């Protein structure tokens, strides 16, 4: 459509004709009127104060408000838990890295277990030798040591 030209006027449908998607206006108005007559609403005149909702509507509105408050509280709690999980995951990752570094460091060290065991065994032998009674060679036989009181 070129600029400055007006759109063609819309042609109204005849009252009894329907399109494939929308029913005629008369049919829609009849259905709406039958619904309202089955469920009357408190209608007020334009200048009058609005009518109070029925007790059932008021109860549903109160329940709706309560559920919205619960939803907001649970949303806040969920966000706090997500933050805590993220923090704990970061701590776990840091500890895993430290453990891996410590294990890598230990794997580069020479095995110290065997020298320590040998050293312990040698110490035990020395202690056993110290505690053993001394034998002294005296003219062809080994005499039992004598206890001396002076050191």
Statement: the pTM of the whole predicted model exceeds 0.95: no
Note the pLDDT tens digit of each residue in 107-141: 777 666 666 777 777 778 777 777 766 555 555 55
Asked whether residue 16 carries a pLDDT value surpassing 60, the answer given is no
Which of the four pLDDT bands, split at 50, 70 and 90, describes residue 105? Answer: confident
CA nearest neighbour of 27 among 18, 36, 35, 38:
18
Whether 136 and 143 have beta carbons less than 8 Å apart is answered as yes
Note the pLDDT tens digit of each residue in 23-38: 566 666 666 666 555 4
CA 44 to chain centre: 52
Note the pLDDT tens digit of each residue in 32-75: 666 555 455 555 555 655 667 788 999 999 999 999 999 999 99
Whether 124 and 136 have beta carbons less than 8 Å apart is answered as no
Q: How far apart are alpha carbons 132 and 142 in whole angstroms?
A: 15
């Amino acid at each position: 459509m070129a600029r400055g030209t007006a759109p063609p006027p819309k042609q109204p449908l005849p009252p009894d004709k329907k399109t494939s998607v929308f029913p005629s206006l008369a049919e829609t108005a009849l259905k709406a009127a039958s619904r309202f007559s089955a469920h009357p609403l408190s209608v007020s005149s334009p200048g009058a104060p609005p009518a109070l909702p029925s007790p059932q509507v008021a109860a549903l509105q109160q329940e709706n408000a309560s559920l919205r408050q619960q939803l907001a509280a649970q949303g806040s709690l969920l966000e706090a838990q997500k933050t805590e999980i993220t923090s704990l995951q970061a701590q776990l990752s840091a500890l895993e890295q430290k453990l891996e570094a410590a294990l890598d460091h230990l794997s580069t060290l020479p095995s110290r277990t065997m020298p320590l065991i040998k050293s312990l065994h040698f110490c035990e032998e020395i202690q056993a030798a110290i505690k053993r009674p001394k034998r002294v060679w005296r003219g062809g036989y080994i005499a039992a040591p004598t206890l001396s009181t002076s050191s």
